[in-house]
Every structure is written in structure tokens, then in C-alpha cells.
Chains A and B, each alone.
Chain A
Amino acid sequence: MAESRATVLQGTLDLLILKALSAGELHGLGVSRRIEQITRGTFSVQPGSLFPALHRLEESGALSSSWQPSENNRRAKYYALTKAGRRRLGDETAQWNRVAIAIAHALET
């Protein structure tokens, strides 16, 4: 399992981030922890991959950000889904499901 914890499947990182943020806004570390949680520890995202992805998504308009006090009263940068981000989450989920079914089907036969 160590192998797969280290790597996030190419292209799924954006989807996971969007999904992690769909329940509410989180700071960077929170996104990382949330992804671990919702994938039951299968994926652990390194900061070196996570932060560039967050910035890229923010620039493309899928996320917005604001500075807020964190749970233990430090200032942190919180990310939230925008309308475009929600739409994109929907699109990418549907796309992912199609791919997943197709791959599963392919592997069964």
C-alpha cells in the first residue's frame, strides 16, 4: 500500500481536491487531511503537489480563497468551491464514473 499512498493517479488530483472542498471551505493542510479521510487513507497528497494544484485551480476560477483564523486561531488561507468549481466537480465526476465503469468492464472480460 505504501506505493499507492505516495502517488495520486494522474489527473485525479483536481477531482479529489474539488470533492474534498464540496463539503465546505478548508485550508491547504485541511484539504490534504480531508483527501486522506475520504479515500480511507489510500491517497496521501504531498504538499509539493497539492499547493501547485490549489493555485492552478484558483487561477482557473474553480476555487476562491480567503484568509481566516484557523481552528487553533492561526491565520490560514481557506479555499472554497466557486460556482464554476461545482460545475466542474459535477462534470469531472460524471466523466470519472464513465471511465471507471469502462475500465472495470475491460478488466472483467
Chain B
Amino acid sequence: MRSLRALWHNLRHRDRVEQQLDDELRATLDLLIDEKVAAGVEPREARRRAIMELGGIEPVKERIRDARMGVRIESLLHDVKYALRHFRRSPGFAISAVLTLAIGIGANAAMVSIVNALLFKRLPVPDPDGLVSLVSVDDRGRERYFPYAAADAFLENGPFKNLCGYNGGGVSTIEAGGVPSIALYAFVSGSCFDVFGVSPIIGRAIVAEDAPWERAGNKVALISHRFWTRVFNADPAIVGKTFRVETIELSVIGVMPEGFGGLHIDTAVDFFVPPDTIFPAPKERRPVATQLVGRLRDGVTFEQAAVQLEAMWPQVKAATTGDPSKASEGAALYGTTTRLDRMGTGISSTLRRQYGSAFRMMAALTALLLVLMCVNVGGLLLTRLSARSNELAVRLAIGGSRQRVAQQMLVEGLVLSIAGTALAIPLAFGLIAPITAFMPQNRIARTIELTPDASILALMAVIGVIVGVLITALPVWLALRRQVSSPLIWDRTVAPATNWWARSLLIAQVAVSVVILIGASLLVRSLYLLQQVDTGVQAANVVDVDLLPLPRGRFATPAERTANVLPYYTGMLERIAALPGVESVGMSQAFPRQTLPPSTPVSFVGQPDSDIIASADSVSPGFFETMGVPLIAGRFFTWADSSPTARVCIVSESLARKLEPNGDVLQRHIRYGTLRDRQDMVIVGVVGNMTLGNLRHEQPPIAFVPPQSNGVNFSAPNILIKTTRSMEWIARAVRGILADGGREYAREIITVEELFARSPASERMTATLAGMMGFLAILIAVIGIHGVLAYSVSRRTREIGVRVAVGANPATVARSVIREAAVLTLIGLVIGVPVAFAASQSLRSLLYGISETDTITFAAAAMFFLLVGVIAGVLPAKRAANVDPVIALRGD
């Protein structure tokens, strides 16, 4: 209490306190003099001795101040004021330093927010890290499933406190109030919501009675807050309302709290249903869960549980799946083992896989950029330190403690970094939206939250302080290290120590910049190559219509579907072809949205399995003509090929070459995969190589089949329309035709060109961001080189003046400056290029068509940097050449 009052007093009445301090010490001095005079010393000598005994009034005052309450705060305020005054005097430096730091900190905060949301955010359930998931894995590492009944068996003697079956990631069209839309669902067994520990905000959860093992579950749905808002306009009387999925009518029993979307972190579930509700399983099979989710008993460690479950699985499998020799799920699970996963961050269906590594890489590059920026600002502060060496020397000489000088420099750095952080906050918020806009809006709406939250802001503050300390670390250290003995002669004409450090920092900047530049160049070139890929199709003026079925449009039986599907599509294509301005029209199942790599083996009938792997697509007559794919041999499809007896196929040239490198494949019989109707197909044509949608797979081997072959039909195909009319006009016309059909709707209508352009989305994102960072890195390096050399020239004005005066050629002087720029850059390159070489290994998975150690890229980046370094030295060199010896030598 007392000390607080003293603190207040000291701060509040600073002037009075100072005055009294002065009075007290002067009085003491007078007393001392009196004492000595009284002892018989002559007055002037007495005064001298008194001052010596006291040890100087100012140093004593300084020590008293240090002992007093609030000395820290007081001196801190003083330092902040001093720093601000200082920066006001050189606004150019202050503004560029603050901006640099703001960009660095803001970009890092944005990246950390995204990486956090994508990779590390916990599920919104109580104790998310207590959730574990059990999956079965076959001998090829593929994830299989569990019978729901296995949950009970594992629960009985296993390490679980609770356990339920979960089967997420389903996507289907739903219809509520006559409006179709896409929704995601998950099957849950009865105890899942006890496991999660989350209760509905309206109505009730799915319970055991809704999801019995022995029969299909009740036709009820527990919906998410998002679905409730989107589809039902947050209707408070929602319980009992219905919506359709496929042919099933589901009745809503409750609404989950906002933010809860099941276990998938990026594709939130819209509704939960009991197993076996929407798609009834065949008679001989019981419903299965892709994973069992639960919480471990208290005291059981994750590792113990994993071992115990592995040991339990054979018994549980035998008890719940039946005879493994029969074609049952027992056979499918034969040879499987179990794997226990931690579920704290949930499951990610695509985003994490697709963008996780890209964002990690971007985050690493951004962090590197921040380091570069710190080095840059630190170097500039250092050069300014030597410019201020006189001021500092005077301060030390009149009794300022070295700690105080260091503290003051630290405060200067912190003032810069805090200003930078303050600017970085709006920047970070602003950057997140454009960065995430690179992620495509898939069929499934993104549900990940990407706004910076309190923890990110706290992290930014921490980064800010660390940056502040980093940028001043070297100046502070140098100030503390300095010899007291030589303060005043320190650095009048040259400052070897500071110069040496400034040059080292400069070299470090060049090294870091070149690492960033090389990484960026690799990614940009990779994107360029990806965009230059020959798609093999004429995408210009072709519109793609992505069809999805309406629930009410389904046929009741497969037989009805087989009989009706072909007339439905032929009729539709005829009507579209008859539209004015339509040149041709065709349909395809996979093209142009296929993203999976070829994965199915193809062999000649009657020959052993080959190791040729191909993709497949079903395409209608007119498809190849519409897409401008050339016929190389044989013929295109006709509608007659879709008869139940015809078994024909067309292969791409790349598949033909693989099957028969030199010969003819026409009229040969091939089998494709394991589907029954594809075990014997006659090749009737060979077409040019083309992409199915993923540009990373160049000229994939493809087997094309007709839209209907042996009972397998188009489902949710694409219509491709080559037209001279505008896309909007075509879209309206096609939607009208679809509405008349009443069975499907267009999820998206887009030109094929646009679709291809947005295909390398993650590549475009990394290339754009990395390109921006590369540009910033170069800019910073140029500022750094220019700053250090310009400073060095201005310090050497006298020396240069002397040299010119005694006959040196100004051009020689200028050349020496440029040479210095070149040498410094070169040393930076010698360090940076090998580092880039090592670091680029981590880029390998992100690159396309270019090696991560591509010599041309490395050489070009290094040459470019050398050029940039020399150019950065030109201005200082000019200034050095223009030094007028008369003026230079007149100084001081």
C-alpha cells in the first residue's frame, strides 16, 4: 500500500520530488563545506574536497532515482517519448520499418489463423482430446468398417467408457418444401450423442431405440443449426417437420447447437440419422460403421487401449460378422487389423489433405519472410546506432548507465514492433478472405471457421514483442559490450564493429531472400507448366452442366430405371441440340470433373493381368465431337451401342499404346476392373489423348464406355454443349428443359475453360502467395543493400574526399561501391543457394512438371539476385562519385 502511494507520489509530483532531491543534496554539500571550513580548511579547497567526498551531485541523484519506486515506469515513459521524438525526426525510416513489420506480422497471423483452423482446431465438444476413433484397416492399408454390433462387443470388455458407431461423409440431394439442395449426413448409432457430450438445443437426440441393430432405424433426423437456419429458416416449431432424402421421408426430432457439425471438421454434417435409414442394406448384410467413436476409461492410456483392441478384434470379428468363407462382411474384413486414432481435431475429408501441406509450406515461407523483415529492420537500426554513436557516447560520459542506454534502444525497437503489430491486426483480418478464396467452393460448402480469434490476437502480440526484442538484440548487445574507456573517440570516422555486423546482417538478408525467391520461382513455374498442359480437348465455347438427381425423380425399382433412363437422356439431348446456336451436345459421367488418378487395371481378355492402370468414363454419342477430340482409328459411339447386348468401348491413344505398343487394338477384347459388365469389351475406336479433369495427370490412359452398358447407367452426369450463344442464355434454356423433365437439376453451369482454369486451385494459391512473398523478399533485400551502402558512403564522405583530392578517379570510387554490393550479394548467394537446395525438398509434393532442384530456376534466381544487388548499389555509388572533396574536407 505504502509503496503504491510512494509510486503514485513519485509519478504524480515528479517535478516537486526532483526539486526536493536537488535541495537535499545541495544542503548536504553545504553542510560538508561548513564542516570542512570549521575544521580550518580554506573555503575553496573545502568546496573541492566536499564535492569529491560526495562523489558528484548528479551521479548520486541518479542512484537515488534508481532506488526509488516507479523508476522503471518513469524511465520507460521517458524512453517511449524519446523514441517517438527520435522517429519523428526521421519519419521515412520509422514508416518503412513499421510497414515492413506490419506486413510480416499480419501475414504471419493470417497464415497461422488458416493453418490453425485447418489443422489444429478442436472439435466443439467437451474434452475433445478425450475422443478416440477405432477403424479397421486391411492388409493394403485401406480403411474398412465395423458392424455396428462390434461397438457393443468392444464396449463389454474393452478399454472404453462409452462407444458408438459413426459413419459420416455422406452427401445427398434433399428436398424440403419443394426446394432441392445438397446436404451432408452421418449415420450414428444410439449412444453417439452421449459419447460427444453434446445435447440438442431443440427436441431430443437420437437414442438407442431409434437405432436398433436388428432392424432398420426409425426415419428420424437430428439436424444441425446450419441446416435448421438454411433450410427451415430457424423455425422454432421444427420438431415433427419433414424433408425427403432419396425416396425416404425423414422427420426432424431435434436441432444441434450452433457450430456442432459432427466429426468432420471441414465438411459439417447437416443431419444425423440412425443407421440403415436412408439406404437400406441388402438382406444378408447388417449395417456397418466406418468408425467406432468413444472415450477411454479413466486410467487407460491411449497406447494400452490400442494394444488391447488389436488383441480383441479377432474375437469380436468372429462374433459379429459370421463365417469369413462366405461372401459376407466377414470376408471383407478378413485379414484386417484395428487402428486407434485421436479425434481431438476431428476428421478432414478433403481440405486438410488437399491444402494442409500447401498451407504448412506457406506458413513456413511467411515465417521466413518475417525473419527476413526482422533482420532488415534490425540492420537499419544498427546503422542508425552508429550514426548516433556521438549522442550515446555523451550520454555514457555524463553518467548514464549502460543498462539505461540499452533499455532505451530496446524501447525504440518495441515502439516500432508495437506500432507494426497494431497495423498488422486489420491487415491479418483483411488477408484471410482473399487467401481462402483460393480454396474452391466444392459441392460441399466450406464450414471451417477462418476468422482470427482472441488466441490469434494474443499470438500476434507475442510475435510483436519477440520481433521488437529481435530487431534490437544486436544494437543492445553492442551497446552493452562497449568499452567505457573509449566512449568519446568511438566511431568518429569509421565504425568497424558496427559495419561488420551490418554487413553480416545484409548477407543474411540476401541468403534468406534468395531461399524465398527460389521457393517462389519453383511454385510459380510449376503453376505455369500446369496451365500449359495440353488438355486434348477444344474447351472454347463449351458449357458444362453438372446434373444432380432430385429425390422425387428417382425410380422405384432398378428395372424401371434401366428401361427409362436412356429415353429420358436422348430426349433431353435432342431438345438441347435443337436450341438455336447449339452446335453439338454430348454427355459424360466423369469429364470434366474427374479428380482421382487412374486406378483400375486393364488387360486383354484371355491374357494374364497386366500392370496397366486406367481411368474410365461413360460418354454419350456426340461427346467427342463436342469436345473436339480427334478419332484416330475405328469409330465413335452411337446410341445403338447402349443396347443391353452391345459391349463395346473406346480407348484413348495412351491406353492403346500401353496395351499394344506397336500393333492395332481395334476389335480386341479387354477387361476393365472387376465390374461384371466390363469383363469383356470390344474396342471399337481409338481417340486422341485428353484429360478427364485433373490437369496433374497428363494424358491418362482412359477406357470409354457408352452411357448404358449391361444395366449400368449414367448417374448425375455432365451435359456438354458447344454453342455460339452466351452462357447465361444457354443456362436459362437448359434449366427450363430440366424442369420439364422433373428428375434432375443443374447444380452448376460453367464453361469448361473456366472449370479448367480453377482446377489447379491449391497450386494457384501457393504460386500466387509465394510469388508475392518472393517479390517482397527482393524488395526488402534491395532496401537492405541500398541502406547499408548508402550509409557506408555517407560515413566515408571524408575518406572519399581525401582520395579524390589526392587524385583518385571518381569512377573508380563508384566502382568500388558497386563491387562491394556485388561481393555482399555473392556471399549471400553462396550461403542461400545451398540452403534453398536443402529446403526445396519439402516442396516436392507441391510441384508439377519441374524438379525441386531445377538447375535453371536456381541459376536464374541467383543471377537475377546478383543483378538486383548491383542495381541496389548504383545510387550509393553515384553519390560516392559525386563527393566534392572541397565540401567533404571542409566538414568538422
Contacts and interface: CB of A to CB of B under 8 A. Distances in A.
A100 B34 CA distance: 38
Contacts of A52: 63-64, 66-67
A27 B35 CA distance: 14
A55 interface: yes
A77 B20 contact: yes
A27 to B, nearest CB: 7
Given A52-B66, A53-B67, A56-B67, A70 B24 contact: no
Helix, strand, loop or mixed for chain B's interface?
Answer: helix
Contacts of A77: 20, 23-24, 27
B30 interface: yes
Contacts of A51: 24-25, 28, 60, 63-64
B27 A75 contact: yes
B28 A47 contact: yes
B31 A76 contact: yes
A27 B28 contact: yes
B27 A70 contact: yes
Contacts of A55: 64, 67-68
Nearest to B57: A47
> Chain B interface: which size bin?
20 to 34
B3 A59 contact: yes
A59 B68 CA distance: 8
A8 interface: no
A72 to B, nearest CB: 5
A28 B27 CA distance: 9
Contacts of A11: none
B31 A29 contact: yes
Contacts of B69: 59
B48 interface: no
A41 interface: no
A80 B255 CA distance: 75
Contacts of B23: 75, 77
A61 interface: yes
Interface string A32-70: 000000000000001111011101100111000000001
Contact of B55 (A47, A59, A74): A47
Interface in A83-98: none
Contacts, number: 62
A67 to B, nearest CB: 8
A74 B66 contact: no
Interface in B33-64: 34-35, 53-55, 59-60, 63-64
Contact of A47 (B3, B20, B60): B60
Nearest to A84: B2
A92 to B, nearest CB: 18
Interface residues of A, number: 21
Contacts of B20: 77
B32 interface: yes
B835 interface: no
A84 to B, nearest CB: 9
Contact of B31 (A27, A56, A59, A61): A27
Most A C-beta atoms less than 10 A away, residue of B35, B64, B69: B64
Contacts of A74: 27, 30-31, 34
Contact of B60 (A48, A60, A61): A48
A46 B2 CA distance: 27
A29 B38 CA distance: 15
Contacts of A28: 24, 28
B53 to A, nearest CB: 7
Nearest to B2: A61
A61 B27 CA distance: 23
Contacts of A48: 55, 59-60, 63
Contacts of B63: 48-49, 51-52
B6 interface: yes
A61 B59 CA distance: 25
A74 B68 CA distance: 26
B28 A59 contact: no
B55 A46 contact: yes
Contacts of A49: 63
B806 to A, nearest CB: 52
B65 to A, nearest CB: 9
A19 B54 CA distance: 22
Given A52-B67, A53-B67, A56-B68, A47 B54 contact: yes
Contact of A29 (B32, B64, B68): B32
A19 B145 CA distance: 85
Most B C-beta atoms less than 10 A away, residue of A46, A51, A72, A76: A51
Given A76-B31, A77-B23, A77-B24, A47 B66 contact: no
Contacts of B55: 46-48
A70 B23 CA distance: 14
A77 B26 CA distance: 11
Contacts of B59: 48
B27 A60 contact: no
A61 B34 CA distance: 31
Contacts of A27: 27-28, 31
A77 B6 CA distance: 18
Given A29-B32, A48-B63, A52-B67, A60 B2 contact: yes
Interface in B736-767: none
Contacts of A47: 28, 53-55, 60
Contacts of B66: 52
A54 to B, nearest CB: 8
Interface string A1-40: 0000000000000000000000000011100000000000
A75 B66 CA distance: 25
A61 B63 CA distance: 20
B816 to A, nearest CB: 52
Interface string B58-97: 0110011011110000000000000000000000000000
A76 B25 CA distance: 9
Nearest to B69: A59
B25 to A, nearest CB: 7
A49 B55 CA distance: 11
A70 B68 contact: no
B298 to A, nearest CB: 51
A15 B199 CA distance: 67
A70 B24 CA distance: 12
B401 to A, nearest CB: 13
Contacts of A53: 67
A65 B798 CA distance: 58
Most A C-beta atoms less than 10 A away, residue of B20, B24, B66: B24
A53 B60 CA distance: 11
Contacts of A29: 28, 31-32, 35
A60 B7 CA distance: 11
Contacts of B31: 27, 29, 70, 72, 74, 76
A48 B69 CA distance: 17
Contacts of B28: 27-29, 47, 51, 76
Nearest to B6: A59
Nearest to A33: B35
A59 B2 contact: yes
A65 B60 CA distance: 19
Interface in B6-26: 6, 20, 23-25
B574 to A, nearest CB: 98
A71 to B, nearest CB: 9
Most A C-beta atoms less than 10 A away, residue of B23, B28, B68: B28
A105 to B, nearest CB: 34
6 contacts: A27-B27, A27-B28, A47-B53, A52-B67, A53-B67, A70-B27
Interface of B: 2-3, 6, 20, 23-25, 27-28, 30-32, 34-35, 53-55, 59-60, 63-64, 66-69
Q: Which are the 9 A-B pairs with shortest beta-carbon distances? A: A52-B67, A59-B6, A77-B24, A61-B2, A76-B27, A29-B31, A56-B67, A52-B64, A47-B54
Given A59-B6, A59-B68, 15 more contacts: A27-B28, A28-B24, A28-B28, A29-B32, A46-B55, A47-B28, A48-B55, A48-B63, A51-B24, A56-B68, A70-B27, A72-B31, A76-B31, A77-B20, A77-B23
